[in-house]
Amino acid sequence: MPVLLLIIAVLPLRVEADGAPPALNSPVGSWKTIDDKTGQAKAIVEVREANSEFEGRIVQLFNPPVPHPECVKCAGARKDQPVLGMQILWGMRQTGGEWTGGHVLDPENGNVYRCTFTLDNGGKELRIRGYVGFSVFGRTEKWVRVEYPME
């Protein structure tokens, strides 16, 4: 009888954990990137946590300028690699209510920037700031959390 009660108590937690959307107090999840200049959606970036650091990869592109774009302006190992699937965010660590210490790549110009980000609007938006040197010399993009329908 005690085992049955334990199974009944734990089973709903397991189902909820498997089917639950990402926590709104974490950047982990899928984000629609919004161009800060045009206001148009550019891509979906999947943010994950690995070894206490946050990283992000492009998993979908909206209206790419050419089919199957490559990062022609990138340097090093990313040079001429497909943009789809490319890691564009890495090394972010949580410090209080923000994430800092990492880098973000802009595949359009091939530049890598230092960055910080914070959650906004109850965890539904991510404000990501890329900069060179000091944060005041940079730009901020808004990413919107992608909320997939529950099945």
Reported as a single tens digit per residue, the pLDDT across 91-141 is 999 999 999 999 999 999 999 999 999 999 999 999 999 999 877 788 899
Torsion, Cα 93 98 103 105, to 10 degrees, reads: 130
User: What residues make up the domain containing 35?
Assistant: 23-145
Residue 6 lies in a domain: no
Residue 13 lies in a domain: no
Rounded CA gap, 107 and 148, in Å?
26
Rounded CA gap, 40 and 151, in Å?
28
What CATH number is given to the structural domain containing 58?
2.40.128.520
Note whether 31 and 142 are within 8 A (CB): no
Residue 30 lies in a domain: yes
**Amino acid 35: pLDDT:** 86
Q: Is the confidence at residue 9, as pLDDT, over 50?
A: no
Tally the domains of the chain: 1
Rounded CA gap, 71 and 13, in Å?
43
**Amino acid 105: pLDDT:** 96
Rounded CA gap, 46 and 43, in Å?
10
Q: Is the confidence at residue 49, as pLDDT, over 80?
A: yes
Over residues 67-71, mean pLDDT: 96
Residue 3 lies in a domain: no
Residue 93 lies in a domain: yes
Residue 132 lies in a domain: yes
Residue 133 lies in a domain: yes
Over residues 26-39, mean pLDDT: 92
Residue 141 lies in a domain: yes
Over residues 9-29, mean pLDDT: 58
